Structure 1
């Protein structure tokens, strides 16, 4: 068995330190989410490369559920590789310095929307296997340890379809195209989060 890399110092600047700080300070909404949070934190403390796609078989990713200004619809992407409707998100990149920044970048790039108002804290964690992310060498299946945020779009915002998507479309929050339990929970948690918005409409 290959020994694990030396853990990164928790005070190290950069994306890894931000992820560790963000998740240790986060209050999970359910017991299951608390278990996942502990799993993510342990992985970050064990692997200095946990934020990179080169960390196998598991690495952290960042994503964003985009809500319409009136909170009645969600903007989802029909993922080109998975062939399913998801929130926007993906791997962290070299220029990312915070989890929230990575989530916002992914949402902006994949939706074409400017002026998204991102909530300051995650709303959901989701660990799931990703067959198309490897393994190229026949090793264990890659798992994304996704950290999910919520953002609110500006009224009359116009979206676009990126190269990573087959389609991008608004869906009613109660009529999702792929209503699996994970996505349904994400929408519910996002709506709860934005119901606590400040007077300016920023997610809480």
Structure 2
């Protein structure tokens, strides 16, 4: 999970309604992992593709996408945690099969209730694949699928050794009807984990989490 301070750098916009559909799809894992020469070129290209094919829901999100794309233009491994100053990260909010609850993790380091997420790894085929991998690793829940397309973007301060900012690409993940029960969830990065009604999120959390949950629920309706 990519730790943060809980103060989104993009302000506190109103709840957004992404224009993307809610078709459930497994991420494409056919791309060359990290590129044939280890440069990460294929992963860099897939990050750009996922961002450019997404339709941002408002002007603020469109402007933020331009920030991400400029970063990809200027840094050949903008997805890597080693990219200085700022790099892309992946987050996903997990929704239960009934589409009434979301799974949040109480982050051990920052003490906030957050969705699953973290750094993109060289073995990830795409940023959406990274979000799905983090969801599985951090929640322990089986039977997960990621909705096709980005849900929201969120830029926030990053307590990393090499970066000041995380350029977070956020997705919505759903559990199939055979997914694990609440007592099965948890990881070494969390002190607690649980399912919460989308209108009754636990505290402390932050506005970026509330916005992502609201946008995800809208996509699933």
What is the TM-score when the length of structure 1 is the normalising length? 0.82
Give the corresponding residue for 1:171. Answer: 196
Change (3 A) 1:124 1:56: same
Instruction: Provide Cα deviations, 1:110-152, integer angstroms capped at 9, x if missing partner.
Output: 0001111210111010000022x235xxxxx621100010011
Higher relative contact order (CA 8 A, sep 6+): 2
Query: Do the aligned partners of 2:114 and 2:205 also contact (CA within 8 Å) in 1?
Result: no
* Aligned length in residues: 178
| 2:206 counterpart of 1:180 | yes
Instruction: Provide Cα deviations, 1:2-38, integer angstroms capped at 9, x if missing partner.
Output: xxxxxxxxxx852110001110111001211111111
Counterpart secondary structure, 1:62: strand
- 5 Å-filtered alignment, 1:1-204, equals 14-131=42-159, 133-134=160-161, 142-155=164-177, 157-158=180-181, 159-177=184-202, 178-195=204-221
Counterpart secondary structure, 2:88: strand
Instruction: Provide Cα deviations, 1:136-194, integer angstroms capped at 9, x if missing partner.
Output: xxxxx621100010011123622421111111111110011135321111111101112
Structure 2 CA distance, aligned partners of 1:92 and 1:99? 7
Q: Which moved more, 1:13-22 or 1:82-91?
A: 13-22
CA RMSD of aligned residues (A): 1.5
Pairwise CA distance, 1:65: 0.4
Q: Which runs of 5+ in 2 are unaligned?
A: 1-39
Structure 2 CA distance, aligned partners of 1:43 and 1:13? 14
What is the TM-score when the length of structure 2 is the normalising length? 0.76
Q: Which runs of 5+ in 1 are unaligned?
A: 1-11, 136-140, 196-204
